[in-house]
């Protein structure tokens, strides 16, 4: 059974609507007496629970009239009551939002968030564990790696499969990536944690990921958590390349996962739009227009012109090859995973950083970000649109936190 975290319909099936007043969460404090608790308040978040019951984000009731370092609050389940699951707190994605809520430090307790993370069951889960990340040089992958370095202080080695490119090997590409200001807070406070990163030459578009034998044995012996973020996200990508990367790449990674001796969780980053041709989407893998294995076999003898002519028939009502191949990748994942502890995460449109490490950070001007930038600069003054359309944009740091907690929950809820 593959657990699901579907970002398309919001929070655990809820459709969230951010009110005009401001941010999702403002962290108020962490009780140092019991750092298993997290205390957060909400500023202007409105939830529409359809068809589920309405739920509130009011984790705690804060009395601002007292100056005590431990203000009266409604208590959140703590380790004293048994290790809480994400579902017991607020549905399947409570953990990520709780962790993001802790990102804002209190003025009188600057290390509060760090204390909470260090003592949390999620942080304890990652202690001394080695993880593997694909797509680490991509937008989501970078934020995920930074979050692991910053918050999972005792994590073991973080292996990154990086494709040599433009004359640079994996180590050189990693060094270039770490020069980004995204990693400034880690660089300034915990520079030694960069030693946990190990770049490995590999390519998801090659048999056996183009790994050499020593690296493959090392991954199989050490890794217990896998984050699969690698994909081609170009909407106009040729079908052959999109299948090779998104479908076959996933198949090759799962084949490697079957050889890992200590594996407890595999997190696959999909998209809420994998089945966008359907009017309603539930947390299920839908039958594809063509079986991935049959399409892969056909592509071995079809030339590019034949594939190009076939593409519109395969797409149907889907807008591009990206959504099609992400749907095929889900099907392939379920078929190949067998007994593997797999979880599929379906975020919607991933946007700029909301809270950490740098509010508003983005490494490209694709999609909505480009529109926002153009409007802010005054370059774009008007555009056609629909007042009834929903902008399903989720901050990348929320998705990163979700991936991290999803891996933990999959491992503890076997």
CA distance 412 to 95: 13
pLDDT reported for residue 38: 32
Q: How confident is the model at residue 170 (pLDDT cuts 50, 70, 90)?
A: very high
Peptide bond preceding 357: is omega within 30 degrees of 0, i.e. cis? yes
Q: Which residue has the tokens 């509010």?
A: 359
- pLDDT class for 116, splitting at 50, 70, 90? low
Give CA–CA dist 167/164, Å, rounded.
Answer: 7
Question: Which range (18-27, 237-246, 298-307) has the least confidence?
Answer: 18-27
Instruction: Assess whether pLDDT exceeds 70 at residue 96.
Output: no
Tell me the C-alpha distance between 354 and 142, whole Å. Answer: 15
- Domain 125-360+396-414 is found in CATH 3.40.50.720: yes
- Residue 142's Cβ-side half-sphere holds a number of Cα atoms within 13 Å equal to 25
Cis peptide before 51 (omega within 30 of 0): yes
Top pLDDT among 78 and 151 is at 151
3-state helix, strand, coil in the chain (%, to 5): 40, 15, 45
pLDDT of residue 385: 85
List pLDDT tens digits, range 2-13: 544 444 433 333
pTM over 0.75: no
pLDDT of residue 235: 86
Binned at pLDDT 50, 70 and 90, residue 370 comes out as confident
Which distant-in-sequence residues (6+ apart) come within 8 Å of 363 by Cβ? 139, 142, 180, 182
Rounded to whole angstroms, the Cα distance separating 87 from 43 reads 22
How confident is the model at residue 16, as a pLDDT?
33
The number of beta carbons lying within 10 Å of the beta carbon of residue 296 is 17
- In this predicted structure, the answer to whether residue 273 has a pLDDT above a threshold of 90 is yes
* Tokens coding 311: 């593409």
27 pLDDT higher than 60: no
Half-sphere exposure of 254 (CA within 13 A, CB side): 23
Is the confidence at residue 210, as pLDDT, over 70?
yes
The confidence band for 113, taking pLDDT boundaries of 50, 70 and 90, is: low
- The boundaries of every CATH 3.40.50.720 domain in the chain are 125-360+396-414
CB-based contact 134:162 (threshold 8 Å): no
For 267-328, what is the HEC assignment? EEECCCCCCCCCCCCCCCCCCCCCCHHHHHHHHCCCCHHHHHHHHHHHHCCCCCHHHHHHHH
| Residue 261 DSSP class | T
- With beta carbons less than 8 A apart as the criterion, state whether 128 and 156 touch: yes
């Amino acid at each position: 059974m593959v657990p699901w975290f579907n970002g398309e319909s919001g929070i655990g099936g809820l459709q969230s609507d951010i009110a005009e007043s401001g941010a999702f969460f403002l962290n108020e404090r962490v009780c140092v007496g019991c750092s298993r608790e997290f205390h957060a308040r909400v500023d202007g978040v409105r939830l529409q629970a359809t068809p589920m019951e309405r739920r509130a984000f009011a984790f705690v009731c804060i009395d601002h009239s007292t100056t005590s370092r431990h203000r009266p609050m409604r208590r959140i389940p703590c380790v004293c009551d048994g290790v809480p699951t994400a579902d017991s707190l607020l549905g399947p994605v409570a953990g990520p939002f709780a962790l993001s809520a802790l990102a804002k430090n209190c003025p009188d307790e600057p290390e509060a968030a760090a204390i909470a993370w260090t003592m949390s069951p999620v942080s304890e889960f990652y202690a001394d564990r080695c993880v593997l990340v694909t797509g680490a040089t991509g937008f989501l992958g970078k934020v995920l790696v930074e979050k692991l370095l910053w918050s999972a202080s005792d994590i073991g080695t973080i292996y990154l499969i990086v494709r040599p490119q433009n004359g640079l090997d994996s180590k050189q590409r990693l060094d270039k990536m770490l020069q980004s200001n995204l990693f400034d807070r880690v660089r300034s406070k915990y520079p030694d944690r960069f030693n946990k990163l190990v770049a490995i030459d590999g390519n998801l578009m090659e048999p056996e990921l183009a790994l050499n034998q020593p690296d493959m044995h090392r991954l199989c012996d050490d890794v217990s958590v896998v984050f699969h973020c690698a994909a081609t996200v170009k909407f106009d990508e040729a079908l052959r390349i999109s299948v090779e990367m998104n479908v076959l790449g996933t198949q090759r990674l799962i084949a490697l996962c079957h050889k890992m001796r200590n594996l407890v969780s595999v997190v696959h980053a999909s998209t809420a739009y994998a089945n966008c041709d359907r009017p309603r989407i539930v947390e299920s893998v839908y039958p594809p227009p063509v079986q991935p294995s049959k399409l892969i076999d056909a592509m071995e003898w079809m030339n590019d012109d034949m594939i190009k002519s076939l593409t519109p028939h395969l797409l149907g009502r889907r807008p591009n090859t990206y959504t099609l191949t992400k749907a095929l990748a889900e099907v392939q994942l379920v078929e190949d995973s067998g007994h593997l502890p797999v979880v599929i995460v379906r975020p919607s449109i991933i946007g700029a950083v909301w809270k950490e490490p740098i509010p508003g950070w983005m490494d490209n001007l694709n999609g909505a970000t480009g529109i926002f930038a153009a409007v802010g600069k005054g370059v774009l003054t008007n555009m056609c649109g629909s007042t009834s359309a929903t902008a399903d944009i989720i901050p990348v740091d929320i998705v990163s936190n979700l991936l991290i907690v999803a891996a933990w929950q999959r491992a503890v809820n076997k």
